[in-house]
Structure 1
Amino acid sequence: MSTSADRPEVVQIPAETPAASPARTRRAAAQRVREARDRLTSTSGTRPAFDHELLRQYAQTRQSASLVVLLLVLGTGLLFAIWMQPMAAAMWTCGMICIHTVIIRNCNRFLAEPQSPQATRRWRHRFVLLDLLYGVCWTPVLLNPPGADMVSNTLLMFLMLLVVALSTMLSASLPIAALAATVPVTFAIAINFMLTNTLDTYVLGLLTLAAEGYFALLARRLHSTTLATLEARAEKDALFGELEQAKAISDEARYRAEAANVAKSRFLAQMSHELRTPLNAILGFSEVMKSEIFGPHAVPVYKDYSADIHNSGVHLLNLINEILDLSRIEAGRYELNEEAVSLVNVVADCHHLLKLRASSRGITIHEVFEQGMPRIWGDERAVRQVVLNLLSNSIKFTPQGGEIWLKVGWTASGGQYLSVKDTGSGIAEEEIPVVLASFGQGSNSIKSAEQGAGLGLPIAKSLIDMHGGTFTLKSKLRIGTEVIVTFPPERVMAALAPLTEDSPSLQPAAPEPPLSDDKRRARHKPIMSAGTGL
């Protein structure tokens, strides 16, 4: 009788869907090819590793049930010694014990040997032959002479079922061995029943064959279950291996990223000093040349060149400062110097600083501030930088004659918000994540004459995130852009209640009881400092 593992398996390759990733498809195809190759090189139709594992489970099961088999043999021998000839029963019992001992010793030797495909194939054949010999040796004692009564036949039938069931359970991981151990006994007893030529024995013979079929099916199902368990465990081990490999790769990538981050921080710290030192000289001397402090230039064009040099130096210095600020924020080294800050005053000051630039472009800036706004607890320099970045971006990308609205007010949750809205060219919806990323620029920014480094919005968003607020950018092409910045309610400073005459701090202090001379001397005794050794 063949098992499911002995029949060739048809490997069905599912059609590749467009959503399947190429890497996953290649990995699945490689796994199917490897499994097919393993089945072709295996003697049982399974993977070679599974063949050895099945044999190992067979040997371990035989070892663990050796005492049960020994008790069954001794009990059967004792029963037939009483029922039949004692000498024949004793010889049969000694022979079965010897065969059982040989099987156990071979199981021990198999478990002690190293794994190899040739050894697995050799031990498989040896176990099948030993089980065949074990099943054949059960046949003489279970055969009942023709003409026996119904009680004897029923007893032999019961004993046969017990032997077949035990052999099936012991050899379930090796179905061929289970068949070798049970088929000789079953067919011999069935034929013996058929030779009696009575209705009762015919029924017993058919029941014997039906029992063999049932136990063969049971052995097949147990083998399939064991094989599925091994496959699941192998897949789990492979998954663990892939996870460990992915973890090792991610750890290595993290180490490289940390090393690169340290190198970047060192580079920026070194370059900030190396760049700012010559930039100070460039800015100072170009300012002197532009202002003609030591006299007018012989050629007037030199004054324009000096102004260009000074403006370029200022732009480069601002760019260096932005890069350093962003690197400190990303590295988590940016510390907020928190204090009470008036958001309305900061926005008004930034408006005053950039008003001249907006007026030169014909842009009108409207202020819509709510009155009586309390202060917030935050970093004034960071808040000012956020407002300057947002307002300068609006001025930069708003055409001449456009308008900008600055709004400061309350949020629905009790916080404060800042809104900068313009009538500029706007940003496409798919480009909003780009402009919020470091060094990201939209298509309109690239086409603009005033290109920047793409750090203004990322720095502003990072500073607001450090304050626990939210940063929202809304924009539509050819309509305008609005940036809304909110500060949480816990950063709004509530006004303290005024002090009344009933307040504890305004009540006169109770008179102190008079001090004794010892307590008065102890109060005026100087405090000794442990750090100075006095």
Structure 2
Amino acid sequence: MSKPAEKPEVFQPPAEPPAPVPVNARRAAQQRVREARDKLTSTSGTRPAFDRELLRQYAQTRISASLVVILLVVATGVLFGLWMQPITAAAWTCGMLCVHAAITRHCVRFLAEQPSIPSTRKWRTRFVLLDLLYGLCWVTVLIHPALDAASGAMIMFLMLLVIAVSSMLSANLPVAALAATAPVTVAIALNFMLSGTFDNYVLAALALAAEGYFALLAHRLHSTTLATLEARAEKDALIGELEQAKAISDEARHRAEAANVAKSRFLAQMSHELRTPLNAILGFSEVMKSEIFGPHTVPVYKEYSADIHNSGVHLLNLINEILDLSRIEAGRYELNEEAVSLVHVVADCHHLLKLRASSRGITIYEVFEQGMPRLWADERAIRQVVLNLLSNSIKFTPQGGEIWLKAGWTASGGQYLSVKDTGSGIPENEIPIVLASFGQGSNSIKSAEQGAGLGLPIAKNLIDMHGGTFTLKSKLRIGTEVIVTFPPERVMSALGPMSDEADAPPLQPETAAADDRRRLRRKPIMSAGTG
């Protein structure tokens, strides 16, 4: 017996993961599912919670209007006592009051009971039956044979009053309102139609029209109440979602803070662990490169030692940049503020990087305004900003390019620094990327001198700590310009000489103390101005 041939395996590519469902679509689907489930468990087509709330409002309305119903019943009994026997009218009045007392008692019991779906259905049926009994009691008196002597207009008026009051009281339960008013209307209309006169036909038609009007009015009131309940439920749902979102955001913030603390600890630990062997590498490579203990037997070893030293210096600079950025983001970077001349700092940085620019055939122009006062700032931070900006311009400016260094006054009285080059430029959509931590543009990735993407973020954060602005403007294949401004509050203008204290009038104790504090605040400014 031959073995059946095996079917060749067909390669099936892995199924693509489903696209994420938008938040609005997911919320709409959840809403539809919830509404379908509520309709299955509801007795009126609405949410079960709404059924309970509508019954609760119905019970509260019947209890609050109890006195009005009693007055209506008593007044009707007294009025009908003129046409029928007083004993019959009194018996009807007592019966109506008993029915009303039963409805009120059931409403009180309903409000005191714990809510549940089966109990809601049971109470809904009870209220409908009680309102039906209430309407039938009104029928017994309105179509009583003894009222034949009464005019049809008066009976019509009483019928309208009864169905109006019943419709308003049972508006939150439309079935109960219909049970209380429909028997009265049908009985009165039939009574008018059986009389056989044209006027009574008209009154019968008016009775049916009035029933339709009040039924529509009760339905509108019910719809308004239901819309109010739905709006309140939607508001509660939104509040719940906001609270849940706030809880999630708080948890995410706590996790981010914990991660930030862990990152700071990790960087602090790694800086110590990396710098310890790095110092030995830099020291011994410097000794070997300088041939302090004698020349190398193989000349290429000297080049290798120089490469090791340069790589170690690059690694040390990278570690320092990461630590500086970490301290700035953690808010632990403290400015060592003093009187600083912006022009002198820019000129010194130009002098340090002039040799690198000359080796690439790049010309650097200086455009400085003379006689500018000093800034109250951190000299090390400003020097780091200028070196980062100028080194970036040299790195991305091609052979034979030009760089302009500018320093001067701003329109508001502050000072600015501008570094402009004729490099390859940055696409507009990549500017937020290069300003982010470890962000690199496409030109930086293609460049042979790739960095860590920390120079611009560190410079921007340092300027923000000084209260200044950092603006980067760039056009592709045209060039890039970075403008740094310092606010007028950091410009230290020179002050005139103070008058002798002997010539000044005697000061009160409070004025003298305030003057001493003012002198202490002006002291660094005076030294800067006179220096």
TM-score (norm 2): 0.87
Note if 1:85 corresponds to 2:80.
Answer: no
Aligned counterpart, 2:191: 192
- Of stretches 123-132 and 219-228 in structure 1, the one that deviates more from structure 2 is 123-132
The amino acid that maps onto 1:463 is L
Aligned counterpart, 1:268: 267
Aligned counterpart, 2:396: 397
- Spell out the pairing of 1:153-232 with structure 2 (5 A cutoff): 153-232=152-231
- Spell out the pairing of 1:250-269 with structure 2 (5 A cutoff): 250-269=249-268
Matches of 1:509 and 1:257, distance apart in 2: 59
Deviations 1:65-99 (A, max 9, x none): 22222232223223333442121112112211221
- Spell out the pairing of 1:59-138 with structure 2 (5 A cutoff): 59-138=59-138
Offset of residue 374 of structure 1? 1.3
Deviations 1:139-187 (A, max 9, x none): 11222548845x6433332222222111111110111110000011112
Matches of 1:159 and 1:393, distance apart in 2: 95
Contact 1:414 1:488 in 2 (8 A): yes
The amino acid that maps onto 1:135 is G
Aligned counterpart, 1:314: 313
Matches of 2:446 and 2:360, distance apart in 1: 18
Question: What CA RMSD, in Å, does the superposition of the two structures yield over aligned residues?
Answer: 2.1
- Spell out the pairing of 1:313-462 with structure 2 (5 A cutoff): 313-462=312-461
Contact 1:418 1:484 in 2 (8 A): yes
Offset of residue 286 of structure 1? 1.3
Contact 2:83 2:147 in 1 (8 A): no
Contact 2:84 2:147 in 1 (8 A): no
- Where does the alignment leave 5 or more consecutive residues of structure 2 unmatched? 1-19, 507-531
Structure 2 residue matching 1:404: 3-state secondary structure: strand
- Of stretches 249-258 and 309-318 in structure 1, the one that deviates more from structure 2 is 309-318
Offset of residue 104 of structure 1? 2.0
Sort the Cα spacing of 1:475 and 1:147 in 2 relative to 1 into closer, same or farther, 3 A.
closer
Aligned counterpart, 2:499: 504
Matches of 1:79 and 1:93, distance apart in 2: 11
- Where does the alignment leave 5 or more consecutive residues of structure 1 unmatched? 1-19, 512-534
Matches of 1:296 and 1:129, distance apart in 2: 116
Offset of residue 126 of structure 1? 1.9
Sort the Cα spacing of 1:189 and 1:302 in 2 relative to 1 into closer, same or farther, 3 A.
same
Matches of 2:80 and 2:147, distance apart in 1: 18
Structure 1 residue matching 2:492: 3-state secondary structure: coil
Deviations 1:431-477 (A, max 9, x none): 11110000000111111111111000001011111111111111122
Matches of 2:504 and 2:129, distance apart in 1: 107
Note if 1:43 corresponds to 2:38.
Answer: no
- Of stretches 380-389 and 393-402 in structure 1, the one that deviates more from structure 2 is 393-402
Matches of 1:340 and 1:323, distance apart in 2: 27
Offset of residue 118 of structure 1? 2.5
The amino acid that maps onto 1:395 is I
Contact 2:83 2:146 in 1 (8 A): no
Contact 2:471 2:484 in 1 (8 A): yes
Deviations 1:206-244 (A, max 9, x none): 322221111101001001101111111111111111111
Q: Percent identity, please.
A: 82
Contact 1:146 1:192 in 2 (8 A): no
Deviations 1:27-62 (A, max 9, x none): 212312331342244332222222222122212222
- Spell out the pairing of 1:5-16 with structure 2 (5 A cutoff): none
Matches of 1:232 and 1:67, distance apart in 2: 32
Offset of residue 326 of structure 1? 0.8
Matches of 1:213 and 1:491, distance apart in 2: 81
The amino acid that maps onto 2:279 is N
Matches of 2:284 and 2:216, distance apart in 1: 98
The amino acid that maps onto 1:505 is D
